[in-house]
């Protein structure tokens, strides 16, 4: 048996288990909300399905309460079949004649049952947020600290294969600058900074993407205008910057490395090379590689005092630019308020939708994530740890609640919209109108999911190639 096979299999089983538990669990919670609300309001429930399409053979159970419970083949949703929801029943397989056998549903019951799914998702998200609040979540200091720039890329690679000077390098931004706001919107941390750039809608007179950075440098505040480039395979706005992170020597890649011989000790924090601030692993490697033929003066912080170490010329820098040092960054355990976590996720979901609808941004439907993408991110989160999975599940549940309440036929918000219009006009909407709207939007929704899935697969393949690249470089003779 090949070495490492069993750990690899266990890792995959663990990822699958977490995906089923949290992703399908989120869908189950949503449908459970509809189910319990319907039973509470005295409605007839005929089927409770996790997944869409035909039921999986052997995965159907008939309860004593008269409900058929099943797991269906397509794991992209679920439904609770209620004949009194005539507009929904016709789509999910309930005939109009059968629906007419039952008492009509009143407006209040329809609204309560429709909103219950989203409500249960929010309750589930809040419960998971309480877990993170109590247990605490270790985060890299660069993720929670102020949006300080640690590295500026000299160039950006465009989707067509060409390279251009990065907007950050061209604008005059410097390593160590702290970004306070973008386009007047405050930036608290690096995650917000990335989101502001990605979803930005600023454009100059020529229609080029534009972002105004409010920057603090040496106690002075000023503004810089950048023109983001549409870069990477995903074609998103980028300016070519990375976050600041303190570089701490965590050890050596092997005994007797150059870094160990030069006197670098575990716990040293690298401050600068030749007086230039080094606040990012990429900056560290780039500077050593670019200056491998001359002596570099390294300054480190050790035990509260500054020490200088002279790094001699290294003709072999192509293979040892890192000096044999294993660098780490600091971690801080945070206990974010569950209310704050939910608020942040709601605001992020709202901003994402606003960016999607704003024609001045470069955010399109292809940037959304479908079921395949969610499984991909769940798999990555599983590798990072259970708390990361929980945090991602909170985001999924908030987004699921928000999305389902949109006033679109087929979704819960669409049922609420039809019910409200019927109530205002004093009589029910024509059933043909409702059914046609449901069919059209069902086809549109399925088409959108298939379209998004193409880009999800591309992103998954791109990530897989990026993971294989370092291994290929190591194995290359």
- Per residue in 89-139, pLDDT tens? 444 444 444 566 778 889 999 999 999 999 999 999 999 999 999 999 877
Predicted local confidence at residue 100, as pLDDT: 65
**Cβ neighbour number for residue 102 with a 10 Å cutoff:** 16
Q: What residues form DSSP beta bridges with 296? A: 311
Please tell me the predicted confidence (pLDDT) of residue 461: 84
**pLDDT tens readout for residues 365-417:** 888 888 888 888 888 888 778 888 999 999 999 999 999 999 998 889 998 99
Angle at 196 between CA 202 and CA 219, to 5 degrees: 100
Query: Do the beta carbons of residue 305 and residue 235 sit within 8 Å?
Result: no
Query: What per-residue confidence (pLDDT) applies to 317?
Result: 61
pLDDT at residue number 431:
79
pLDDT of 167 reads 94
Q: Provide the pLDDT for residue 471.
A: 40
Same fold, 142-242+333-367 and 247-328: yes
- Map out the domains of the chain as residue ranges: 16-136+388-400+409-475, 142-242+333-367, 247-328
- Please identify every stretch of the chain with a pLDDT value under 50, giving residue numbers as ranges: 1-5, 8-9, 89-97, 319, 469-477
262: its two tokens: 């030069």
Q: Which fold has domain 247-328?
A: Pdz3 Domain (2.30.42)
Residue 314 confidence (pLDDT): 83
Task: Determine the pLDDT at residue 105.
Answer: 85
**The pLDDT value given to residue 211:** 94
In the prediction, which pLDDT does 222 show?
94
Question: 142-242+333-367 maps to which CATH number?
Answer: 2.30.42.10
Q: What is the 3-state secondary structure (H, E, C) of the chain?
A: CCCCHHHHHHHHHHHHHHHHHHHHHHHHHHHHHHHHHHHHCCCCCCEEEEEEEEEEEEEEEECCCCCEEEEEEEEEEEEEECCCCHHHHHHHCCCHHHHCCCCCCCHHHHHHHHHHHHHHHHHHHHHHHHHHHHHCEEEEHHHHCCCEEEEECCEEECCCCCEEECHHHHHCCCCCCEEEEECCEECCCHHHHHHHHHCCCCECCCCCECEEEEEEECCEEEEEEECCEEECCCCEEECCEEECCCEEEEEECCCCCHHHHHCCCCCCEEEEECCEECCCHHHHHHHHHHCCCCCEEEEEEECCEEEEEEECCCCCHHHHCCCCEEEECCEEEECCCHHHHHHHHHHHHHHHHHHHHCCCCCCCHHHCCCHHHHHHHHHHHHHHCHHHHHHHHHHHHHHHHHHHCCCCCCCHHHHHHHHHHHHHHCCCCCHHHHHHHHHHHHHHHHHHHHHHHHHHHHHHHHHHHHHHHHHHHHHCC
Per-residue pLDDT at 397: 96
Q: What is the pLDDT of residue 2?
A: 47
């Amino acid at each position: 048996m090949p070495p490492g096979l069993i750990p690899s299999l266990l890792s995959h089983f663990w990822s699958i288990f977490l995906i089923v538990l949290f992703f399908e669990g989120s869908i189950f919670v949503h449908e459970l909300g509809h189910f319990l609300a319907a039973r509470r309001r005295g409605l007839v429930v005929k089927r409770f399905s996790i997944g869409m399409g035909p039921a999986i053979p052997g995965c159907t159970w008939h309860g004593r309460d008269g409900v058929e419970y099943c797991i269906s083949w397509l794991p992209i949703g679920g439904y609770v079949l209620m004949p009194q929801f005539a507009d929904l029943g016709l789509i999910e397989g309930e005939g109009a004649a059968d629906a007419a056998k039952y008492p009509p549903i009143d407006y209040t019951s329809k609204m309560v049952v429709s909103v219950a799914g989203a409500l249960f998702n929010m309750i589930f998200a809040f419960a998971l947020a309480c877990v993170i609040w109590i247990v605490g979540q270790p985060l890299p200091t660069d993720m929670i600290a102020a949006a300080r720039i640690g590295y500026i890329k000299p160039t950006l690679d465009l989707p067509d294969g060409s390279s251009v000077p990065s907007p950050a390098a061209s604008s005059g931004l410097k390593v160590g600058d702290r970004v306070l706001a973008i386009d007047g919107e405050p930036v608290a941390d690096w995650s917000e900074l990335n989101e502001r750039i990605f979803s930005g809608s600023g454009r100059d007179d020529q229609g080029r993407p534009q972002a105004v950075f409010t920057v603090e440098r040496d106690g002075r505040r000023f503004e810089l205008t950048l023109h983001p480039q549409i870069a990477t395979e995903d074609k998103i706005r980028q300016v070519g910057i990375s976050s600041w992170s303190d570089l701490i020597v965590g050890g050596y890649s092997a005994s007797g490395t150059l870094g160990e011989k030069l006197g670098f000790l575990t716990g040293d924090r690298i401050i600068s090379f030749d007086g230039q601030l080094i606040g990012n692993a990429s900056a560290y490697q780039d500077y050593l590689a670019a200056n491998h033929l001359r002596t570099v003066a390294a300054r480190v912080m050790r035990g509260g005092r500054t020490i200088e170490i002279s790094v001699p010329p290294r003709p072999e820098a192509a293979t040892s630019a890192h000096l044999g040092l294993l660098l780490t960054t600091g971690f801080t355990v945070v206990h974010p308020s569950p209310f704050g976590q939910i608020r942040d996720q709601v605001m992020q979901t709202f901003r994402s939708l606003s960016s999607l609808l704003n024609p001045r941004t470069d955010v399109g439907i292809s940037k959304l994530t479908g079921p395949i993408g969610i499984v991909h991110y769940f798999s990555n989160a599983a590798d990072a740890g259970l708390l990361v999975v929980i945090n991602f599940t909170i985001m999924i549940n908030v987004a699921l609640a928000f999305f389902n309440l949109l006033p679109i036929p087929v979704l819960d918000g669409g049922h609420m919209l039809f019910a409200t219009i019927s109530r205002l006009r004093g009589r029910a909407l024509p059933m043909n109108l409702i059914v046609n709207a449901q069919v059209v939007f069902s086809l549109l929704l399925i088409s959108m999911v298939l379209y998004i899935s193409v880009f999800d697969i591309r992103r998954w393949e791109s990530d897989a190639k990026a993971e294989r690249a370092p291994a290929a470089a190591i194995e290359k003779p």
